Each structure stands twice: as C-alpha cells, then as structure tokens.
Structure 1
Amino acid sequence: MQYVSTRGHATAQTFSHILLGGLAPDGGLYLPAEYPQVSDAELNRWRALSYADLAFEVLRKFATDIPDADLKALTHKTYTADVYRNGRAGEDVEQITPLRVLEEKAGCKLVLQALSNGPTLAFKDMAMQLLGNLFEYTLAKNNAALNIFGATSGDTGSAAEYAMRGKKGIRVFMLSPHKKMSAFQSAQMFSLQDPNIFNIAVEGVFDDCQDMVKAVSNDHAFKAAQKIGTVNSINWARVVAQVVYYFRGYLSATTSNDQKVSFTVPSGNFGNICAGHIARMMGLPIDKLVAATNENDVLDEFFRTGIYRVRKSAETYHTSSPSMDISKASNFERFVYDLIGRDDARLSALFHKVETAGGFDLSGNPGSDGDEFRKIAEYGFQSGRSTHQDRLDTIRDVEKRYGVTIDTHTADGVKVARDYVTPGVTMIVLETALPAKFNETIREALGRDAERPDGFENIEALPQRFDVMAVDVAKVKAYIAGHTGL
C-alpha cells in the first residue's frame, strides 16, 4: 500500500513512513493511492470478531508494511475493556463502542454509538490510544525520538496527552485556544504533570493554533532538526483508526450485507466524518453521511451550496459545543481530492484560493470554480446546523424520553440526524464525548450536574501547568527548541 499527497508533488510512501508526520512535504495530505476494498465474504466473517480483531482486519489493509503479528498485538494492546471502561451504567464495555437504540417507530430507527468510553471521555481516544502504541512501536524499532506538535479545540489535546504520557522517546507540545475550552477540558490537559507534556494556551481561536501547526510543519528544516510529528487529524493513522468504528457500527446494527445504515457525525475539522467517507469508499454499505455543525457552519454551507467559505478568527463563534468551533476544516482537502477526481493540480489551485481569497465555489453557477456540487450526493453527504438553543432542547428531550444524558456535540448530531432519518435505514449518531466534559451546559439544560465516571470527581481543582503565548510562529518554534534538548 502506497500513499500519495493530495498536492501531487511528494514521493509515494509506505504507512510506516508517513505514520510519524502530518502534512506531506508539498503541503498536502496523504491518502492511499487507491482505497482497499472489502468483500461481502469479509463483512460476513467480521461480524463475529471482537473490536480488537476487527481493528486488525481493517488496519492490515492500510498498514501493509507492519508484520501481521505485530499489528495484531498492537490492536489487542489498545482495544481492551480496561482502557474503554468509562461508559454509562448498563453498557457492555467488552463491545468497546456499544450501540444504544434511542428511537424506533414507523420503520425508522435512531441509534447512538458510544465512542467516548476511553480515558479522556471523548471519541478521540478511539484513534489516539492506538496512535500512542504505534508511535512507541515504530520509535523503538528505529531507536528514535519524536516531538509531537499539535493543536486542539478541546478533546484532541487531552486524548493525545493521555495516550503519550510516559511513552519512551516522545514529548508532546499542544496548542489550545486560551479560555475557550470547557473547564473540564482545560483541567484534563493542564493538570497533567508528566515531564514529557507541554501545554501552550494561545491567545486566539483554534484556527490560529491549527495555522501555527501547519506553519511549523511546512518549515521542513525545523521539522527535521526538531524531529516534529503530529497527532492532529491530518495524521493519516488517526483517520484510518477511526474507520474501524464505522465498520463496527454497521456490523452491530445490521444482520445482512444487503442492509444500509446512515451515520450522523458532529463535524468541525472533518476528520471524524472523513473516516466514514473512507469506509464508504472501501465498500461499506453506507447510505448517508450527515455532517452536523454548530453555529460555525462552514461545512453545512458547502454541502448545501457547493461554496466553501472559511471564516476569519473574528468571525468564529465561541459556542457551547466548543470542539466544533472551527472555521477551516483541515481534513476537508481529502474529500475534495476525491470529489474532483483526484486532480492534484486543480486541488492545489483550489486550496491556494482558500489561502488567498478565503474559499472556492463548486456550485456550477456562473463564475464558479467548477460544478462538482452535483456529485456530492453520489458520495452520500448531507448536512445540517444546530444552535445553542437546539442543543439545550435536544439534551432535555433525550433525557426526558430515554433517560440518557448526552453532551453538547452529540446533541448537535441528534438534532440534525432527526431531519434525515428514513424508513428501513438505521441512523447511527456518533457520540463524541460524555456529558461530564461540558457540565456548564448540562447544568443549564437540566438544572443538575452531569454524572462523572470514577476518578474525575474533582479534576478542576487539581493544580494546572501551562504557558500562555501570543499567536506567533517564531515564539512557538523557540519554545519547542528550548524544551527538546535537541
């Protein structure tokens, strides 16, 4: 399996070669030269597998340069009931990502897939725990070290830090928007005292943090000298690890391969739903992929109109689903690459226009950049938008009807999913976090605190360690260089 850059000017590479990095040398994102396919016979065989064995079967199609025995050991080390033990009462932790039926009437079924039972109570753990083990395995084989540099709007940072803490040969430098995460999210990250963890609170929004990561990634001399890698969703290994739970959701919700399911995915940076797109391209029978946004509705606007229009930092709303407060979806490039027929020259031109003019237009209207909007339905994409009031109403409704408390991002998903449920096709909403992470809004909606898993009762009271920094690439480079010893 070879990987190519969306920009077309980087040498094809193996999985292990791109594992520790993020952007390709030409500034593009890596994708397989062609998507591996899954047969009906394989789907039938996979129905009886554990999550760890299913992960091995999916990942071995992509990580062809890692010996099967090693890869299987890594998936079995990662996907255990002990690691993913923080689910709700009554959930089968052995399932890793159990399903819960919320609504079933008139042939329509709405299901919640629990992805937030890991150590940081967010879906990012599903990929990040594997990534930590893959990194450690690869570095040990090469007697090497790695300085991870990433950005987070709330959940990626804590998931990365919990996955990498104490890992031999790894340091983590994580940017986050200062005072724009929930108190729980901030405490999860900033309370870590491990000497290989460095938190930097940036005086800006998430997109500023993300732009700084890309700027450092594009400085190839600095990146090489400081041994910089990334765990943001631009990292291919993270995306492909997320493909696994789409297969698990489908296989758990169906009994035969002639059935289809749809997925609604709370979406900000397009990494989570991009994994669904890849699963669909592999042959998984997915009907719709519904992107649910909050007030930062860049993706909803594109899937409704064909116009991709990024917002400036000042135009980015700070909302009660803060992990989706993103106005420039860094993984979106992977889907656009497929949408325009993998034309890397045209892809480069479109994203150059993003940087210079703030977006592009594929609506097909006079003066637009193309007419691929007509093809979006072929890929199953639809979308919707949710507001703060929608979140409050949905949290209250799901609690009242089903006795289930959901977090704010999952509420965005449920609200939008209800507009696309169709008879005969199970709609699976991906749960992105447990409600304890966003207790301020849970209290506003329900008048009480969210339940917390054991061990998280007083996390906000723990001592916190972080540095505040302006939006300044030179300063963050100096900070990294000053703390790596290289």
Structure 2
Amino acid sequence: MEYISTRGKIGKIGFIDAFMMGLADDGGLLVPSEIPALSKETLDNWRNLGYQELVLEIFAYFTNGEIPEAELKDMVAASYSSFRDPEVTPVRKITNELYLLELFHGPTFAFKDIALQFMGQFYSYVAKKQHKKIHILGATSGDTGASAIQGVRGKEGIKICILHPNGKVSKVQELQMTTVEDDNVLNLSVEGNFDDCQRMIKELFADLDYKSSNHLAAINSINFVRILAQTVYYFYSYFQAAKQHEGELGAVNFSVPTGNFGDIFAGYLAKRMGLPVNKLILATNENNILEKFIHDGVYMPGEFKATYSPSMDIQVASNFERYLYYVLDENSELVASLMEQFKTEGEIVIPHEKLEQVQADFASHGVDGQECLDTISEYQAKFNYLLDPHSACGVAATEKCSGEGEVTISLATAHPAKFDEAIKLCGIDQSFPEEIAALFDKPQRQTLIDGKLSEVVRELDKFYNAQ
C-alpha cells in the first residue's frame, strides 16, 4: 500500500512517511493509492475477533509490514489498556432497529480516544526509532485536544500544542486540556472559532520550511492514520450488532455526528472496503454546511453558530476533500482546481450527476437545538439512556433518515458528563465519573491569544525553544 495526495503532486509514499507528513506537502490530503476489497470469507473470519485483534487485521492491509508485527501488537495493546470497557467500543441494543456504538470508554470520555491513544503510541515509537524530535500541532473543537494531550503527555522527544476556541468548548473539555501539568504540553486559547484555529494550523503545515525546521506533526484528522484507526469500530460494531440482532443482519445504516467529516469518512472507507453498509447518515447541527452539500451539491460555509453540540460547531470540514477526491473519480487535477476555487470564491458546486452519487452514499439531517434537547429527554425517559448532545444529534438524524425496518447503528461519541450544560437544560441531574469530577479542583494552564497567526508562531517559538 502506498499513499498519494488528493491534489496529485505527492508521489507514492509509505505508511510511516504518510503518518509523519500529516497534511500532504502539496496542500492536499493523503489517501491510500487503492482501497482494499475484502471478501465475504474475510469478514466472516473477523466476526468473533476481539477489538485489538481486529485492529491488527485491518491495519495489516495498510502498513506494508513497515512496523514489525510484535511491536505493532504492543502498541495496540498499550493504546487500549486504559479503556474502561473490555470491548473498547461496546454496542448497546436500544431496539431491534437501533443500536448505539459507545465510543466514550477511553481516558477522556470521547470517541477521539480510539484513534489518538494509538497515534500517541505511534509518535512515541517513531521518535525513538528515528531519534527524532516531534512537535505535534493541532486544533480542536473540544475533544481532539484532550485526547491528543492524553496520548502523548510526558512522552520523551514529543511536544504538543493544541489550539482551542476560547469560551466555545464545554467546561469539562476545557479542563481536560488545561489541567495537564506536563511540560511538553501547551494550550493556546484563541479568540475566535474552531475554523479560525484550523485555518492557522493548515497555514503552518502548508509552509514547508516552517513545517520541516520545527518538526511539525499532525494529530487532527488530516492525518490518514487517524481515519484508519476509526474505521476499525465500524467493522467491530457491525459484528457486535449481528450477535444481538433478532434475525439475520443485512446491510445497516450508520448515523454519525460529525462536523469535520473525518468520522463519517472512516465509515465511507469501511463501506468501500466491503462492510455491508446501506446508508451513511451524516448528523450535524445548525452549522450544517455538510447537510446542504448532500442535499444541494453546494459546499459553502455559512454563519458560525454556537450550539449545544460544540464539537460539531464547524463550518469548513477538513476531511471533505478526501470524499471530493473519490466522488470526482480520483481526478486530482479537478480536486486541486476546486479547492483553489473554494479558497478564492468560498464555494464549490459539483455537477448534477455527481450529486446523485453523493445522495446514494449519504443521507443527512441538521439537528436544531431544541430537537437535540428533546431527543436527550425522550431517550432518558423512554429507555433510561442518557445521550450527550452530539450522540443525541445522531439519534435524531436516525429517526429522520432511516426507513421503516432499516437497522441503524448510531455513534455515541461522548459521555454526557462532558456536556452537563446541555443535560441540565433537559432538567436532568447526572452524576459525574470520578475522573471528571476531580478536574474542577485542579489549576489550569493555558495562554490566551487573539486570532492572529503571528501570535501563534510567537508562542510556538517560545515553547519549542524551551528546554
């Protein structure tokens, strides 16, 4: 397996090089040169594998043997040893048509832990093997930052800086990032929104001299390894739902709360590999640029809105380009042209015949604030199951987009304790897990800056030059 850029100017590179490059040096995103096609026999052989075993099987198609098997196995074991459920991503049956894939049993109670605990191990492995300094740089709308920091805090040879929008993440999300005391961690609280943070990160990675001289590495979902790690739980959840389902389980829908298109692109990759997927339901909130694209074929940011599901408060979805590459028949020249047009004109419109393909791949629903809160209240009352607001968006989209008799696995992406502000509005009192309750008594460390790239660079220079 080799990796190429969606914009066509990066030659075929290996797995570790793709991991370390993060954002492609031509400004595009790295994708595998071909998507493996899995046979029914292979899927049948995987049905009873444990989560860690399944990770190894799927990764084997993508790593080219660049990591010795025993060392990869050790990394995978270490990545998921801190998860609170032995299944890592257990599946809860709500009805025979609805299953919840719980992705919040990792150390920071959010789905980002699935990929980022592994990526932390992987960066540590590369730093030691190649005797490299690695400076991880990322932006977060809430969950990525805490998961990434948890994955590399205190690790030798690695420093991590995370930008988050000041006042636009939940209090627990903020505390999970800013109460970490390790000296290899820097939190920059940026006046602006997530798109401002993400734009500055992309600008720094696009400056190849700066990227090289400062040993930058990507933790956001622009890094393909993060997508790959998330693909695993689509397969695993299908197999788990099949064991609980009354009757034979055919193709299923997956409902995915997403703002950056990364998690649902992982599902698209699983479908392309051969997992029996009917519809991928893209659940979003009032920041519904992706819903409009799926309905109308027009990709154009609107006005930013703060919502009860802040991790999806995103207008520019950084993984959209990967899907654009595939829906445009892997035409990298056309992708590069459209992305340049988006940069100058702020809009992409795809041809009508391609919109038909988009609508065959995806359904979508943008959940407004009241609908989100109503869904939380309804599922608590009806099923005694407390959804966080992002997971509630996934369930609400399931109800809107799933046909009669269709089975849907809806992704529960975070523990409700991370978003108590929304839960309280539903009149629900919840008890916090001990790890989250303890955060409120810890001192915080963060640097408040305005939304200027020059200020980010100034803080990074101080951080990278500190002993």
Q: Same fold (TM over 0.5)?
A: yes
Structure 1 position 375 matched with structure 2 position 357: yes
Whether the 8 Å contact between 1:123 and 1:432 is mirrored in structure 2 is yes
User: 2:83: which partner in 1?
Assistant: 84
Structure 1 position 55 matched with structure 2 position 55: yes
User: 1:31: which partner in 2?
Assistant: 31
Letter in 2 for 1:84: F
Post-superposition shift, 1:95? 1.2
**Residues 9-408 of structure 1: pairs in structure 2 closer than 5 A:** 9-64=9-64, 65-80=66-81, 83-85=82-84, 93-104=85-96, 109-254=97-242, 259-311=250-302, 315-364=303-352, 371-378=353-360, 380-408=361-389
Deviations 1:102-156 (A, max 9, x none): 233xxxx111000011000000000000001111111111111100110000000
Aligned residues: 462
Post-superposition shift, 1:471? 1.3
Deviations 1:260-311 (A, max 9, x none): 1110000100000010000111111111100001000000000111111123
Whether the 8 Å contact between 1:110 and 1:421 is mirrored in structure 2 is no
**Residues 406-485 of structure 1: pairs in structure 2 closer than 5 A:** 406-448=387-429, 450-485=430-465
In 2, the alpha carbon distance for the partners of 1:40 and 1:250 equals: 14
Greater CA deviation, 173-182 or 424-433?
424-433
Q: Which consecutive residues of structure 1, in runs of 5 or more, have no partner in the other structure?
A: 86-92, 365-370
Whether the 8 Å contact between 1:60 and 1:68 is mirrored in structure 2 is no
In 1, the alpha carbon distance for the partners of 2:231 and 2:443 equals: 36
Q: What's the TM-score once normalised by structure 1's chain length?
A: 0.93
Post-superposition shift, 1:20? 2.3
Post-superposition shift, 1:21? 3.0
Whether the 8 Å contact between 2:285 and 2:368 is mirrored in structure 1 is yes
Greater CA deviation, 27-36 or 425-434?
425-434
Post-superposition shift, 1:258? 7.2
Whether the 8 Å contact between 1:266 and 1:410 is mirrored in structure 2 is yes
For the residue of structure 2 that corresponds to 1:26, the secondary structure is: coil
User: 1:368: which partner in 2?
Assistant: none
Post-superposition shift, 1:254? 1.9
In 2, the alpha carbon distance for the partners of 1:68 and 1:336 equals: 34
In 1, the alpha carbon distance for the partners of 2:106 and 2:437 equals: 16
Whether the 8 Å contact between 2:287 and 2:305 is mirrored in structure 1 is yes
1:375/1:19 Cα in 2 relative to 1: closer, same or farther (>3 Å)? Answer: same
Whether the 8 Å contact between 2:8 and 2:333 is mirrored in structure 1 is yes
Post-superposition shift, 1:36? 1.2
1:41/1:138 Cα in 2 relative to 1: closer, same or farther (>3 Å)? Answer: same
Whether the 8 Å contact between 1:305 and 1:363 is mirrored in structure 2 is no
User: 1:367: which partner in 2?
Assistant: none
Letter in 1 for 2:387: I
Greater CA deviation, 10-19 or 431-440?
10-19
Letter in 1 for 2:112: K
1:257/1:274 Cα in 2 relative to 1: closer, same or farther (>3 Å)? Answer: farther
Letter in 2 for 1:267: T
Whether the 8 Å contact between 1:31 and 1:334 is mirrored in structure 2 is yes
Deviations 1:16-67 (A, max 9, x none): 0021232111000000000012111111111111100000001111111222
For the residue of structure 1 that corresponds to 2:159, the secondary structure is: strand
Letter in 1 for 2:95: E
Whether the 8 Å contact between 1:51 and 1:79 is mirrored in structure 2 is no
In 2, the alpha carbon distance for the partners of 1:259 and 1:47 equals: 14
For the residue of structure 1 that corresponds to 2:434, the secondary structure is: coil
Whether the 8 Å contact between 1:2 and 1:33 is mirrored in structure 2 is yes
In 1, the alpha carbon distance for the partners of 2:80 and 2:176 equals: 22
Letter in 2 for 1:278: L
Letter in 2 for 1:23: L
Greater CA deviation, 240-249 or 16-25?
16-25
Post-superposition shift, 1:446? 2.5
In 2, the alpha carbon distance for the partners of 1:326 and 1:157 equals: 15
In 2, the alpha carbon distance for the partners of 1:425 and 1:138 equals: 44
Runs ≥4 in structure 1, deviation > 3 angstroms? 255-258, 422-425
In 2, the alpha carbon distance for the partners of 1:454 and 1:77 equals: 22
In 2, the alpha carbon distance for the partners of 1:103 and 1:47 equals: 21
For the residue of structure 2 that corresponds to 1:335, the secondary structure is: helix
1:74/1:233 Cα in 2 relative to 1: closer, same or farther (>3 Å)? Answer: same
Post-superposition shift, 1:340? 0.3
In 2, the alpha carbon distance for the partners of 1:17 and 1:310 equals: 32
Whether the 8 Å contact between 1:52 and 1:78 is mirrored in structure 2 is no
In 1, the alpha carbon distance for the partners of 2:433 and 2:441 equals: 16
Q: Which consecutive residues of structure 2, in runs of 5 or more, have no partner in the other structure?
A: none
